[in-house]
């Protein structure tokens, strides 16, 4: 059964959310992104939505795009699919049985120890490049929206 998780980045701070895994979880005390195993018959997007809500109390707004970053495969064959979701503002996550602390960070050096999955992700230049390209595209789209809005205000 595959798994899925989501990097949630706030546009207004350019920080992303990490959570510290509780004592009842595998790799307790490590910091990672919200995510987990797919339930039977569940697709990857549904898994991401459910896991983010279960671990943070936050409902992802699916009216805006969620972007697929890729898949990593662990030595035991487990496949973890990572998604990227831009949100406008940081939210205050709610602690759960799975996650006992949260932080919004710009760099993984701000937390320790880092979950092996997140460590693999931030060391992979393909994932980092994908995030940077998506950030630039989001910035350009935002700029384009402001230019278009200004044009409409002048035209009408």
Taking the domain 3-155, which CATH number applies?
3.90.79.10
Residue extents of the structural domains in the chain: 3-155
Q: What is d(CA 87, CA 17) in angstroms, rounded to the nearest whole number?
A: 11
Q: Is the pLDDT of residue 150 over 90?
A: no
Model confidence over 66-79: pLDDT tens digits? 888 888 877 788 89
15-31 pLDDT, tens digit per residue, is: 899 999 999 988 899 99
Spatial contact of 101 and 10, defined as CB atoms under 8 Å apart: no
pTM above 0.75, yes or no: yes
């Amino acid at each position: 059964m595959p798994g899925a998780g989501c990097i949630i980045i706030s546009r207004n701070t350019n920080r992303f959310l990490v959570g510290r895994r509780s004592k009842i979880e595998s790799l307790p005390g490590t910091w990672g992104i919200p995510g987990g195993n797919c339930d039977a018959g569940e697709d990857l997007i549904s898994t991401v939505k459910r896991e983010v809500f279960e671990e943070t109390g936050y409902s992802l707004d699916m009216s805006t795009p969620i972007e697929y970053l890729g898949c990593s495969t662990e030595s035991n064959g487990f496949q973890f699919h990572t998604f990227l979701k831009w949100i406008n503002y940081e939210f205050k996550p709610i602690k759960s049985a799975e996650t006992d602390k949260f932080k919004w960070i710009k760099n993984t050096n701000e937390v320790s120890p880092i979950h092996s999955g997140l460590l693999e992700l931030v060391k992979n230049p393909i994932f980092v490049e994908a995030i940077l390209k998506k950030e630039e595209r989001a910035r350009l789209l935002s700029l384009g929206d402001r230019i278009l809005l200004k044009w409409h205000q002048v035209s009408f």
